[in-house]
Structure 1
C-alpha cells in the first residue's frame, strides 16, 4: 500500500468518525434557518467543524470551493462496488454565475407551496432540488452529506420524512443512489461543459446508465408524509397529538370497527381481517398525501 493510499484511508477514517457524530446531532437538533445559502453553509460547517483541529487545518468548513479556471471542468470519477464501469460526473465551475444560480435556487424554496404538494409531486420537487444543488456542488468536500441533511430537514419542515438511510443498507442501494444522482447532475452539467473531453465522458456515462432511475424517480421510494408514518407506527393518542388532522382517519377506522362487529358478530378473525383492510386503505391515502375526512364508514 502506497503512502498516498494510507493517507487517504486515514483521512476517511478520521472524517467518518467525527462527521457521523455531527450528523446525528443535526438529526436531533437541526439547523434552524430559512433554507437559504446561510442555512446550507451552516450545515456544512457543523458536519465538518472538527476536522481542522483533527489534523486538516487547510479545510474551511462552511466555505464555498474556489472557481474552476477558465476552459476547465470540475470532474469526478466514481468507482462503485461490484460495477466495472466507472461513473464520471461533472459539476459547475462554481464561478459567479454558479453562485447566482445557487442563490436563485435556494431563494425559490417555498415551504408553504411544498407542504401543499401530494407525495408524488413533493418527491419530484425534492429530487429536482437535490439534483440542482448537487450539480452546483458548492463545497470542496462533503456535498452529499450536506445536501442529504439539508433536504431531510427541509422535508421534515414540510410535513414529510425523507429517509436517506434506506440507500445505505447494502452496496446495491448505494450504487442505485450514486447512479441516480450522477445521471441527474450530468444532464444539468452537459450544456455548460467547457472541455470536449469532459463532454465525451459525460455523454458516455449517460448512455451507459440510461436505463437507471434518476433522482426525482428514486426519491419516491424514500419520501412519506410524516402523518402517514405516525398513523402506521404510533399509538393513536400520540399520532393525534402530533397530527390533529388524523381525526378523520381514526373516526373512519372506529366506524369501520362498529360496522365489522355488526357484519361479523360471531367471527373475530374475519372482523380483524376486515379492519386490517380498511386500515390499509386509509394508509394508502395518507401515503399519497391525502387526509381522509369523515365520521362514518361506507362499505364499497
Structure 2
C-alpha cells in the first residue's frame, strides 16, 4: 500500500472509528505515511503554562501532587477511554498556553475541563470551583504544531500565521510532496478539532500524538482548543518532560458562573505562591471578574 492509498484508507476509517482497531491506525500512520515532516515550533523558556482541575466539592487542594498529572495507579486503572491525545490508561499532562486572541490561558484550561462550558442550557449561578496551577518550563521546548484545521485557521490569527509558516517550510523541503503534505495535515488537524460523539472518535488524533511524541526531537504537542472556538491553544506534554523541564509557579482558585449562553469567570477567593508537598493558601479579599463570555 503506497502513501496515497494509505491516506485514503485512513480517511475511510475516520468515518467509523468505533469499528477500527487502534493498532491498525498506528500501523497505517507509522509504515505507510512515514515520510511526512512534523511541523515544529519552539516554546520559549519560562512560558506560562496553565492547568485546571475541577474541585468537585474539595474546598482547597493540599498538595501540588493534586494539581499535576495523575500518579495514583487506582485512578489510572479507571481511565478506560481515549482522550483527544491519550490512550486508555495513559497519563499525559494536558494544559493551556496563551494566544493573541485569548491571553488568559486559564479560560482555555477551564473550558477544556468544565462539563458545563459547552452546555448551552446549563445554569450554575452558585459557581463551579476550579483550581488553576501555573507552570513554567526551565528550558526552551520543541513542540509539534497541529495548525491545519480549517475552522481554527479562520478563527485564530496565531494559527493562521503558523499554518502559513509551515506551508512555506514544506515547499522548501526536498523530496516532499507538498500537496499531499498539506492534505494530510489538514486531515490530521481536523481530527484534533473533531467534536466527538464517542471517545473512539479520538483514535486518530491519539495515534498521531503517540507517534509524534516518540520522535527524539519532539517534547510536546500543541493544538487549537475546540471548546473555545479555536481561539485558545492546548499543550500536551509527556510526564517525563514535565518532571524534567517544568516547575509549578503559583496557583489560584477560580469560579465559573453559567447562565445558559452567558458565562462569567471570577476568582475563587484563594491563591498560593508556595507550592510543594503542602500548598500554602492565602485569601483574596477582593472579588474580581476575570472574563465574561
Fold-level similarity (TM above 0.5): no
**TM-score (normalised: structure 1):** 0.26
Higher RCO (C-alpha under 8 Å, 6+ residues apart) = 2
Based on CA coordinates, which of the two structures has the bigger radius of gyration? Answer: 1
Query: TM-score, normalised to structure 2's length?
Result: 0.26
Q: Which has the higher strand share?
A: 2
More helix by share: 1
